[in-house]
Amino acid sequence: MTLVIFLVRRLAGAALVLLGVSLATFLVAHTTGDPVTLLVPANATEAARAALRAHFGLDQSWPVQYGLFILHALGGDLGTSFVYRQPVLDLVLNRLGATFELAFVAFAIALVLGVGLGMLAALKRGTAVDACVTAFTMVGLAVPPFWLGLILVIVFAVRLQLFPVSGADTALSVVLPAVTLSLQSTARIARLLRSAMIEVLQADYMRTARAMGLLRSRVLWVHGFRNALIPLVTMAGLELGDLISSAVVIEAIFAWPGIGRLAIGAVEQRDFPLLQGSVLVAAVCFITVNLVVDWLYTRIDPRVVLR
Amino acid sequence: MKRMPPFGLLGAGLITLAVATAVLAPVVAPTTPTRLDLRARLSPPAWVVGAKPGHLLGTDNVGRDVLSRVIYGSRISLSVGAAAAVLGMLIGSTMGLLAGYFGQWVDAVISWLINVQLAFPFTLLAIFLLGTVGGGFGAVVVVLALATWVNYARIVRGEVLAIRSRDYVLAARAVGVPTGRTLLRYILPNVAGPIVVVASFSTAQAILTQAALSFLGVGIDPSVPSWGAMLNEGRAYLQSAWWIAVFPGLAIALTVLGANLLGDWLRDWLDPRSVA
């Protein structure tokens, strides 16, 4: 029952947020220029322009256009792309898989590497190992990801020829973009886990667990790690959202066929419906991830009550 | 006052160096960033075989001095980063103060704005705005402030929630201090610490994002030397002339590292409970 109330409350909140996101995209799109000028030849007659505007519904007032967009969106219709002349939803869903693949591989790398490094640093606090991890995280946060991507391409794709330069044609294609994308998240997760574990390791329940003579690994993972999980899960949710957003730049470098590249193309060609659709779908992903995160809290920490 | 730890010192040193470079650019740069030395095009750095004299970090495809461009480029990165952090701070802190202090519907509206901003794929918004409105210093600063204001708003809101029912705030209200004065005189000074910490990280974030936008070809006019634009130009020559893109990248990394280290130190210094 609590789960139902929780879901209803959160879905209502999510709907409001999506309304805000769509309104912002709509306003920005419609106040920054006329797409029709880019779609027709420069010498097109005014009548031809007006006909095109009417065809796309751009001749109606903004509130009407926005209202119609929302109505159609509720029915799963995000409109038709000006440029591709195909339903936006199909275009976006076709590309979503590639972006998910990239984001999830990057997320997996960040989680495994970040948790591993953070744990290691916390356990070896004050040693050379700790200093190395700290140095790695500081450098990882400072290096521009797109710059790292370029260097990785030069070293591993051009010189060593271990991975393809770009595209998504082979199974190995995802490696370089995913590593590039994961760097900042890895560093942030390692930093967070290090400080969370240092705090946990000093807690009374850890001393008790050790005094009871439990296995070292059991003390560490069951009693220790579980208590460091809450901040980690909060952050992981935000990171996954951030990865989807950052993928835009990385997809551009590696010619990765995801929604980032689709959306950049939509921006360049002023393809409003396509842009609006990609932004909305990305926002839906972010919100869904964070809903799951909130539910995960209750699985990890029985004291947390869903509201 | 605690002594500054080595990492904090390093951060302060890097930021001082970056600011000094930007301010003294005409003095320290060997030449102007736009002078073309056509006979020394694509000259490698001075320590590499085949380097032409007079260009310590080499030249780009039209023979401009890379060192001079990196030095002048610091002006754009630092001024954009700082301006965006300050504008974001003004917007975000105000929002956070209002949401935390007034609660109720004010808090609901501002929290909604924060959630909308967080759910929005920011890079797309930035490319879209800058691609259509056009770049320029002001536009880039505003767009970056849109990205950073939530950082301040969330922290300030939380802090204000925690202190708005403290005795000194209640006392101020009880004796009839106007609301605006209560907020500015009694609450703001007590959240100033976290704001400064966020400002430091937000500057780093703004510098990185600005470089990414220039790299994608939107934002600051590419004829003005900036680190992001240099990376974009150097991209085509990565295999034959790596130095064009590598040095501005290093400059970005060192500046961002400095701002992050400074932020870490400020946070530890202001919060006696923090570990590490």
pLDDT of residue A4: 80
Whether residues A219 and A279 share a domain: the answer is: yes
Q: Does B240 touch chain A (CB under 8 A)?
A: no
**What mean pLDDT comes out for the span B217-234?**
80
Q: Taking phi first (over 0 means left), then psi (-120 to 50 degrees means alpha), and beta for anything else, what does residue A203 get?
A: beta
Model confidence pLDDT, tens digit, residues B64-118: 888 888 888 888 889 988 899 899 999 998 998 888 888 788 888 888 888 888 8
Of A74, A107, A126, the last residue of a domain is: A74
Lookup result for tokens 């709509």: A26
Q: Do B124 and A244 touch (CB under 8 A)?
A: no
Question: Bridge partners of B59?
Answer: B65
Helix (H, G, I), strand (E, B) or coil at B269: helix
Whether residues A242 and A164 share a domain: the answer is: yes
Chain length of chain B: 276
Chain length of chain A: 307
Q: Which of B9, B148, B208 to mutate to test the interface with A (most CBs of A within 10 A)?
A: B208
Question: Quick one: DSSP state of residue B119?
Answer: H
pLDDT at B1 over 60: no
pLDDT of residue A32: 62
Domains contained in chain A, number: 2
Burial of A229 (0-12, 13-18, 19+ CB in 10 A): buried
Do the domain assignments include residue A305?
A: no
Do the domain assignments include residue A5?
A: no
Helix (H, G, I), strand (E, B) or coil at A80: strand
Q: Does B155 touch chain A (CB under 8 A)?
A: no
Whether residues A165 and A292 share a domain: the answer is: yes
Alpha-helical segments (H) within B176-242: 179-181, 188-215, 227-234
Residue B45 CB neighbours (<10 A)? 17
Residues 6+ apart with CB under 8 A from B70: B57, B227, B230, B247, B248, B251
Q: Given pLDDT bands bounded at 50, 70 and 90, which one contains residue B276?
A: very low
**What mean pLDDT comes out for the span A266-292?**
81
Residues 6+ apart with CB under 8 A from A19: A70
pLDDT of residue B59: 79
Whether residues A70 and A132 share a domain: the answer is: no
Q: What percent of chain B lies above the pLDDT cut of 70? A: 95
Whether residues A202 and A59 share a domain: the answer is: no
Whether residues A184 and A264 share a domain: the answer is: yes
pLDDT of residue A303: 66
Q: Given pLDDT bands bounded at 50, 70 and 90, which one contains residue B3?
A: low
Lookup result for tokens 């899960």: A233
Burial of B235 (0-12, 13-18, 19+ CB in 10 A): middle
pLDDT of residue B90: 92
| Widest pairwise Cα distance in chain B | 78
**Cα-based torsion angle of the residue sequence A119, A175, B125, B154 in order, rounded to the nearest 10 degrees:** 0
Of A27, A43, A74, the last residue of a domain is: A74
Task: Find out whether A25 and A280 touch, Cβ atoms under 8 Å.
Answer: yes
Q: Taking phi first (over 0 means left), then psi (-120 to 50 degrees means alpha), and beta for anything else, what does residue B120 get?
A: beta
Model confidence pLDDT, tens digit, residues A214-250: 777 777 777 777 777 777 877 887 788 778 778 888 8
pLDDT of residue A112: 92
> What are phi and psi for residue A156, nearest 5 degrees?
-90, -25
pTM, entire model: 0.83
* ipTM of the complex, rounded to two decimals: 0.78
Whether residues A24 and A127 share a domain: the answer is: no
What type of residue sits at position A17? V
Whether residues A217 and A281 share a domain: the answer is: yes
Q: Given pLDDT bands bounded at 50, 70 and 90, which one contains residue B273?
A: low
Find the domain containing A68 and state its range.
12-74
Do the domain assignments include residue A86?
A: no
Do the domain assignments include residue A237?
A: yes
Task: Find out whether A95 and A257 touch, Cβ atoms under 8 Å.
Answer: yes
Whether residues A173 and A279 share a domain: the answer is: yes
Whether residues A101 and A70 share a domain: the answer is: no
- CA distances for B120 relative to A117, A238, A241, A281, B153, angstroms: 30, 12, 9, 10, 16
- Picking from B204, B245, B276, the nearest residue to A198 by CB comes out as B276
Do the domain assignments include residue A6?
A: no
Instruction: Please choose, from the candidates A80, A31, A86, A95, the residue with its C-alpha nearest in 3D space to the C-alpha of residue A273.
Output: A80
Do the domain assignments include residue A3?
A: no
Lookup result for tokens 């390093």: B10
Helix (H, G, I), strand (E, B) or coil at B59: strand
Q: Which two tokens stand for residue B30?
A: 């060997």
Do the domain assignments include residue A84?
A: no
B256 min Cα distance to partner chain A (Å): 5
**Sign of the Cα pseudo-torsion (B40, B41, B47, B48, in order):** negative
Q: Does B235 touch chain A (CB under 8 A)?
A: yes
Give the C-alpha separation, A109 to B206, whole Å. Answer: 25
CATH code, A117: 1.10.3720.10
Helix (H, G, I), strand (E, B) or coil at B65: strand
Give the C-alpha separation, A291 to A232, whole Å. Answer: 15
Q: Do A29 and B125 touch (CB under 8 A)?
A: no
Q: Which of B77, B109, B113, B116 to mutate to test the interface with A (most CBs of A within 10 A)?
A: B116
Q: Does B169 touch chain A (CB under 8 A)?
A: no
Q: Do A252 and B216 touch (CB under 8 A)?
A: yes
What type of residue sits at position A243? L
Whether residues A125 and A270 share a domain: the answer is: yes
Q: Does B16 touch chain A (CB under 8 A)?
A: no
Do the domain assignments include residue A259?
A: yes
Of A44, A74, A104, the last residue of a domain is: A74
Whether residues A258 and A221 share a domain: the answer is: yes
Q: Which two tokens stand for residue B162?
A: 């925690």
